[in-house]
């Protein structure tokens, strides 16, 4: 694969009148600038519409108020890619090209630890994110036992066996300052309506008791350009 990590941001828009402005900024200004960087292979953002929010299986603080998830795929060398990424963010902010009415519940680079395409598709595992889709299903876990291989050996194969799931990737980040444990994010790309796929995903088995703490589990919809009226 040409990428080694994903930069994930779970974001709340703090002013309910700013959703349209936030989407216009990110989709028409911020995201295109990120894609000019050599180390950014791909990027996209999805929305937790009111219907998606109601369909969440788990939604704990500080993720309960999240409206959007952004994912950039990062190519090596990661140190150089992240440095360019941060320099561009600071430059754009200094030029007034940053949206201020936002708060992140989680942000940072996550190592890619598993990739699977659906066996019903003629698609490589590495190609999954680049295929058109209707939305994603995201599961965020704090891992109690970092040696448990459930995510990659059991959960990903079970996810991609479902109708409506085109493929899924698993990401990992180690313990962060303040004592929080390792986090895993599982992203499933959907070629069915997100709410329908979520109902099927809810039937999958859970890992053994006590091995993880689910923090967020639910669907997000793809964003069409100039159609940003979910919260009006």
Phi-psi region of 150 (alpha: psi -120 to 50; beta: other; left: phi over 0): alpha
Sequence-ordered alpha helix ranges (H) in 73-161: 78-94, 150, 156-160
Q: Please state the domain extents for the chain.
A: 5-222
* Residues 67, 16 contacting (CB under 8 angstroms): no
State yes or no: pLDDT of 179 exceeds 70: no
pLDDT at 175: 65
Phi-psi region of 12 (alpha: psi -120 to 50; beta: other; left: phi over 0): beta
pLDDT at 209: 87
pLDDT tens digits for range 198-232: 999 999 999 988 889 999 999 999 999 999 999 99
Of 68, 23, 104, 9, which is closest to residue 219 (Cα–Cα)?
Answer: 68
Q: ω into residue 62 within 30 of 0, thus cis?
A: yes
pLDDT at 180: 60
Please, which residues have CB within 8 angstroms of residue 76's CB and are 6 or more apart in sequence?
4, 39
- Please state which of the four CATH numbers 3.30.70.100, 3.40.50.720, 3.10.290.10, 1.10.3720.10 is assigned to the domain occupying 5-222: 3.30.70.100
Alpha-carbon span 224 to 23, nearest angstrom: 10
User: β-strands 5-13, 40-47: how paired?
Assistant: unpaired
Residues in the chain: 232
Alpha-carbon span 63 to 52, nearest angstrom: 14
pLDDT tens digits for range 67-126: 999 999 999 999 999 999 999 999 998 998 989 999 999 999 999 999 999 999 999 999
């Amino acid at each position: 694969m040409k990428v080694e990590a994903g930069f994930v941001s779970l974001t709340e828009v703090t002013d309910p009148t700013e959703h349209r402005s936030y989407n216009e900024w990110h989709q028409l200004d911020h995201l295109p600038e990120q894609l000019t960087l050599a180390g950014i292979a791909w990027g996209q953002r999805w929305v937790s519409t009111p219907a998606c929010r109601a369909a969440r299986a788990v939604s704990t603080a500080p993720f309960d108020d999240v409206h959007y998830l952004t994912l950039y795929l990062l190519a090596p060398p990661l140190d150089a890619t992240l440095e360019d990424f941060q320099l561009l963010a600071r430059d754009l902010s200094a030029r007034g090209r940053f949206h201020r009415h936002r708060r992140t519940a989680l942000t940072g680079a996550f190592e890619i630890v598993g990739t699977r395409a659906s066996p019903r598709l003629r698609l490589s595992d590495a190609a999954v994110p680049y295929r058109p889709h209707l939305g994603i299903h995201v599961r965020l876990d704090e891992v109690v036992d970092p040696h448990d291989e459930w995510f990659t050996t059991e959960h990903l194969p079970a996810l991609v066996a479902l109708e409506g799931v085109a493929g899924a990737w698993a990401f990992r980040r180690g313990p962060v300052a303040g004592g929080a444990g390792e986090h895993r994010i599982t992203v499933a790309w959907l070629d069915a309506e997100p709410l329908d796929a979520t109902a099927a995903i809810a039937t999958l088995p859970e890992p053994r008791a006590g091995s993880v703490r689910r923090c967020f589990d639910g669907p997000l919809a793809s964003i069409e350009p100039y159609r940003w009226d979910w919260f009006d």
